[in-house]
């Protein structure tokens, strides 16, 4: 048996805990069957945003006619793009692995781990068992495959496959309407694929605030190359020559033929083959690992973080959790996790960013609140750049409860709300009183917060009385 001070199962966000342990001269084992860096580096955040950024540039050029500009774009070479992206992200993963191999404090095991007791794992392809005095589990999630008749007999794409296609499909059917479907749908529709989305709910991005999901859904309905079948489920799938044929049931009963089928219908925790039954670790009904507010599992000395402990399934949440686990498992500080001010974003078109509660959540909780909504074209930069979108603020007695942004730069604009929530008091006044650069788009945020604030003199510019139509 090989013994370590810290055993990390999963080579994504969990490895960050190993860095602090190694700084303190602890011996660290990392077990990972795939490329290091987890889903984010090679299968998720970074490659998807590399593609989407290119789509955004194309869209900007296509939309430039609203400004009286005529920009022609040649057809993008998808194979060249995905190869470039693949080379970059795999180089990053390899560099990370090389860093661990060169480290005197780390041992990297290439294989899948399975627990035999609370602190010990067997690793496929490794003769000896590996034990950690303390253990961190960060094994993430995998795409779920819904029980659709015929799906096991056709070739379909997962989100990972869809990031690395060599050729632009003529027609792409997408099962699912969450953020991964909306992001990849945006990308493929932009590069010329005819995209059809089959979504069980009556709108896309169903977890977002009601105004946000309505705006995203309306934008997709208006888009060239996009067809939505909302309130509908894929009921049957079959091969038809080179194509895949898909029938839907529900509000739309149609048959769709496509060159490629992407299944983006949710994710499930990678705990099914982890040997959790041999340990004192408790899973919830859906297979996610249960943790306390210090992120320790029900097995003493075993912590878990990232997607495998459930929502929020975002990389920055996993990184934040890694700090708490490092504080507890390595530095023994007894910290509790605090997600205050944590935002998330959806890199589709329009861009979305949210922080805090949605209106539905506040209503369900019986919480009283007031709201303000400020449109992009009511701020000077929004007006002259002819942008649309909005910032919506939900607050109670001056405290920010939620902020939801739809429109250009939303993914960046949300951060002043995050910072106010995290290091300030999280009040409306803090954001309204911050001195915003003029005439940048951040005045859309100022405009929304200013409506709920009580300044002696409001200086937030309001250009809603003019338009550039
Ligand atoms: C297409 C896509 C786009 C995304 N875009 C974003 C985004 O823009 N922003 C954002 O914040 N988040 C995004 N995410 C989510 C983000 O990737 C995850 O939240 C994040 O990677 C979670 O980190 P993690 O370390 O918990 O899990 P992972 O990154 O999944 O890492 C878990 C690791 O554990 C390994 N593993 C699994 N089982 C075992 C085992 N038995 N033994 C050993 N190792 C094992 C896996 O191989 C994997 O490398 C995206 C995800 C996808 C799929």
Q: Which residue has the CA at smallest separation from atom 9 of ligand 1?
A: 45
Please name the helix (run of DSSP H) or strand (run of DSSP E) that holds residue 227, with its range, or none: strand 226-230
- For residue 138, what is the DSSP state? -
CATH no. of 2-143+268-330: 3.50.50.60
| Ligand 1 lined by 156 (C-beta under 6 Å) | no
Q: At what angle do helices 15-23 and 78-102 cross, to 10 degrees?
A: 30
CB atoms within 10 A of CB 336: 11
In 3D space, the residue among 30, 46, 44, 201 whose CA is nearest the CA of residue 100 turns out to be 30
Q: Which residues are catalytic?
A: 438
Residue with tokens 């498992």: 329
Return the percent helix, strand and coil in the chain, to nearest 5. 35, 25, 40
| CA 369 – CA 309 distance, rounded (Å) | 31
Residues of the chain with CATH 3.30.390.30: 350-453
| CA 203 – CA 144 distance, rounded (Å) | 20
| CA 173 – CA 169 distance, rounded (Å) | 10
Q: How far is CA 196 from CA 152, 184, 193, 248, 336, in A?
A: 21, 12, 9, 12, 44
* Residue 440 backbone zone (phi > 0: left; psi -120 to 50: alpha; other: beta): beta
| Ligand 1 lined by 143 (C-beta under 6 Å) | no
Beta strands in 231-351 (DSSP E): 232-240, 243-250, 255-258, 260-263, 267-269, 302-304, 343-346
Question: What is the architecture of the domain spanning 151-265?
Answer: 3-Layer(bba) Sandwich (3.50)
In 3D space, the residue among 300, 295, 321 whose CA is nearest the CA of residue 12 turns out to be 321
Which tokens is 307 given? 């997607």
In 3D space, the residue among 293, 254, 409, 326 whose CA is nearest the CA of residue 17 turns out to be 326
Residues of the chain with CATH 3.50.50.60: 2-143+268-330, 151-265
Model pTM above 0.85: yes
What atom in ligand 1 is closest to the CA of residue 274? 41
Q: Which residue has the CA at smallest separation from atom 52 of ligand 1?
A: 44
Q: Which of 12, 17, 97 to mutate to test the pocket of ligand 1 (most atoms within 8 A of CB)?
A: 12
In 3D space, the residue among 159, 215, 171 whose CA is nearest the CA of residue 197 turns out to be 171
Q: How far is CA 70 from CA 30, 61, 63, 103, 334, in A?
A: 53, 8, 9, 54, 59
- The radius of gyration of the chain from alpha carbons, rounded to an integer in Å, stands at 24
Residues 261 and 175 sit within 8 Å (Cβ to Cβ): yes
142 C-alpha to ligand 1 centroid (Å): 8
Q: Which residue has the CA at smallest separation from atom 49 of ligand 1?
A: 38
In 3D space, the residue among 37, 22, 352 whose CA is nearest the CA of residue 178 turns out to be 352
Instruction: Summarize pLDDT for 89-147 with one digit per residue, the tens.
Output: 999 999 999 999 999 999 999 999 999 999 999 999 998 999 999 999 999 999 999 99
In 3D space, the residue among 32, 56, 104, 27 whose CA is nearest the CA of residue 347 turns out to be 56
Which tokens is 410 given? 């939303």
345 C-alpha to ligand 1 centroid (Å): 16
| CA 335 – CA 323 distance, rounded (Å) | 10
183 C-alpha to ligand 1 centroid (Å): 17
CATH superfamily of 350-453: FAD/NAD-linked reductase, C-terminal dimerisation domain (3.30.390.30)
Residue with tokens 């602190």: 119
| CA 416 – CA 431 distance, rounded (Å) | 7
| CA 140 – CA 160 distance, rounded (Å) | 14
Partners of 184 in the beta sheet? none
18 C-alpha to ligand 1 centroid (Å): 17
| Ligand 1 lined by 35 (C-beta under 6 Å) | no
Q: Which of 10, 305, 418 to mutate to test the pocket of ligand 1 (most atoms within 8 A of CB)?
A: 10
| Ligand 1 lined by 310 (C-beta under 6 Å) | no
Which tokens is 130 given? 């590996």
Chunked mean pLDDT (size 10), the chain, 469 residues: 97 96 96 97 98 97 95 94 98 97 96 97 94 98 96 96 98 98 98 97 97 98 97 96 95 95 96 97 98 98 98 96 98 97 98 98 97 97 96 97 98 97 94 96 97 88 87
| Ligand 1 lined by 113 (C-beta under 6 Å) | yes
């Amino acid at each position: 048996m090989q013994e370590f001070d810290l055993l990390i199962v999963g080579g994504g966000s969990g490895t960050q805990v190993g860095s602090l342990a190694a700084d303190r001269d602890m011996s660290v084992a990392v077990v990972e069957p795939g490329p290091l860096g987890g889903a984010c580096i090679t299968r998720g955040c970074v490659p998807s945003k590399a593609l989407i950024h290119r789509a955004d540039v194309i869209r900007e050029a296509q939309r430039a006619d609203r400004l009286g500009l005529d920009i022609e774009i040649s057809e993008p070479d998808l194979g060249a793009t995905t190869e470039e992206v693949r080379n970059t992200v795999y180089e990053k993963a390899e560099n990370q692995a090389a860093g661990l191999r060169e480290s005197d404090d780390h041992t990297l095991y290439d294989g899948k781990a399975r627990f035999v007791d609370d602190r010990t794992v067997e690793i496929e392809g490794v003769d000896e068992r590996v034990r950690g005095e303390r253990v961190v589990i960060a094994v993430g999630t995998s795409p779920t495959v819904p029980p659709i008749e015929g799906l096991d007999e056709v070739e379909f794409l997962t989100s990972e496959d869809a990031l690395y296609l060599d050729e632009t499909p003529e027609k792409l059917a997408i099962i699912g309407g969450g953020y991964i479907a909306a992001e990849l749908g945006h990308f493929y529709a932009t590069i010329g694929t005819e995209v059809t989305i089959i979504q069980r709910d009556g709108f896309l991005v169903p977890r977002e605030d009601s105004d946000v999901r309505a705006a995203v859904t309306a934008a997709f309905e208006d888009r060239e190359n996009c067809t939505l079948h909302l309130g509908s489920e894929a009921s049957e799938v079959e091969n038809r020559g080179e194509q895949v044929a898909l029938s839907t049931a529900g509000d739309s009963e149609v048959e769709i033929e496509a060159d490629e089928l992407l299944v983006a219908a949710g994710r499930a925790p990678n705990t099914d083959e982890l040997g959790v039954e041999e340990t004192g670790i408790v899973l919830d009904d859906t297979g996610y690992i249960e943790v306390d507010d210090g992120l320790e599992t029900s097995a003493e000395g075993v912590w878990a973080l990232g997607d495998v402990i459930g929502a929020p399934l975002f990389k920055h949440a996993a990184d934040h959790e890694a700090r708490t686990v490092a504080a507890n498992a390595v530095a023994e500080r007894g910290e509790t996790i605090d997600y205050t001010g944590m935002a998330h974003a959806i890199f589709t078109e329009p861009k979305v960013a949210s922080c805090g509660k949605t209106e539905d959540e506040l209503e369900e909780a019986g919480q009283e609140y007031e709201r303000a909504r400020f449109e992009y074209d009511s701020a000077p930069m929004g007006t002259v750049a002819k942008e649309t979108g909005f910032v919506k603020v939900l607050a109670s007695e001056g405290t920010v409860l939620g902020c939801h942004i739809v429109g250009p730069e939303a993914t960046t604009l949300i951060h002043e709300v995050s910072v106010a929530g995290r290091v300030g008091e999280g009040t409306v006044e803090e954001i309204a009183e911050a001195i915003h650069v003029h005439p940048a788009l951040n005045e859309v945020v100022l405009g929304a917060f200013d409506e709920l604030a009580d300044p002696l003199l409001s200086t937030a510019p309001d250009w809603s009385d003019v338009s550039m139509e």
